[in-house]
């Protein structure tokens, strides 16, 4: 009932982890491998291991989360080495600190036959002194034009995707698609956290996280409407252009209803971040069961019956 595909990769359900919480260590990745997540996605990897930003750098409350982690990870070679221990489709998230770093990591991922996908992160909002590349469209285009020559002739059947920022202006989706259609992109992930938010502890009269003067990426329920808008607008633009690019919805997935709405808006799959941090990998069982109940209630037998079929008020 929940089966889906990204291009030719068949998957048992539409749920997997976002690159961020609980996917950094061997223990994390093996727990995801044992869970109901249909894909295991690594933490965004850099050339060398990184400690990330000073703590406290993550804060969670009822409406969502704020983080300024700063890409703490064990380095791309560690995540490559995990490929022979992961029995599910295994995707590597890549977030090189420089263009050359990203090219190096992508090339090494392409050589590994046990890796099924690469998600190139163009949207991390939490690196001190660096902006989010996907907001600067000419620079993003130039960046991709330097990476994809290494991919085009060495793809080896791997799925290549981009993790994008939250976009807001309605015209921007067409402009981004002008860039995306130049490259053999299989999927996009919409969206990364909403950058440079601020949450205040009013009793202490101070910020709740330390890095960047308390500014961080906002996730969870806060950003669900923005995530849905990005999924929907890209879906409509891809349909108009006949672009064969799958959309991974990400943002505000707490219940089966949230999953259903992302699929209805046009997503092929969804990633879970903040709620995964809260519940652990067991969250995938609950979400799967809730989504199945919704489909049965609505007399749907598959995701394809309602994917992208969001109606507007006439």
Active site residues: 124
Provide the b/e sequence for 68-102 (b: ≥16 CB within 10 Å). Answer: bbbbbbbebebbbebbeebebbbbbbbbbeeeebb
Contacts of 20 (CB under 8 A, 6+ apart): 43, 44, 67, 69, 219, 273, 277
Contacts of 167 (CB under 8 A, 6+ apart): 173, 176, 191, 230, 233
Phi and psi at residue 217, in whole multiples of 5°? -80, 130
| Sign of the dihedral defined by the CA atoms of residues 136, 142, 143, 145, in that order | positive
């Amino acid at each position: 009932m929940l089966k889906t595909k990204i291009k030719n990769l068949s998957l048992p359900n539409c749920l997997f982890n976002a690159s961020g919480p609980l996917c950094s260590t061997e223990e994390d990745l093996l727990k995801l491998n044992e869970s109901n997540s249909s894909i295991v996605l690594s933490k965004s990897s850099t050339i060398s291991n990184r400690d990330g930003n000073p703590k406290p750098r993550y804060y969670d409350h009822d409406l969502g989360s704020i983080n300024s982690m700063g890409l703490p990870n064990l380095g791309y070679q560690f995540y490559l080495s995990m490929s022979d221990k992961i029995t599910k489709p295994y995707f590597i998230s890549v977030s090189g600190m420089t263009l050359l770093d990203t090219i190096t990591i992508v090339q090494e991922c392409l050589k590994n036959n046990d890796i099924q996908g690469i998600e190139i992160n163009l949207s991390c909002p939490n690196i001190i002194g660096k902006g989010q590349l996907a907001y600067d469209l000419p620079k993003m285009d130039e960046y991709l034009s330097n990476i994809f020559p290494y991919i085009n002739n060495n793809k080896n059947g791997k799925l290549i995707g981009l993790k994008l920022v939250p976009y807001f202006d309605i015209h921007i989706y067409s402009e981004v698609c002008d860039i995306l259609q130049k490259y053999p992109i299989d999927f996009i992930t919409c969206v990364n956290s909403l950058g440079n938010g601020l949450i205040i502890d009013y009793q202490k009269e101070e910020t709740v996280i330390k890095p960047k003067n308390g500014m961080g990426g906002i996730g969870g329920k806060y950003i669900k409407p923005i995530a849905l808008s990005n999924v929907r607008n890209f879906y409509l633009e891809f349909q108009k252009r006949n672009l064969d690019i799958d959309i991974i919805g990400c943002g505000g997935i707490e219940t089966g209803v949230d999953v259903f709405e992302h699929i209805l808006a046009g997503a092929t799959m969804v990633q879970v971040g903040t709620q995964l941090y809260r519940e652990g990998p067991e969250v995938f069982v609950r979400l799967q069961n809730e989504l199945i109940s919704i489909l049965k209630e609505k007399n749907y037998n598959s995701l394809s019956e309602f994917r992208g079929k969001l109606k507007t008020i006439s």
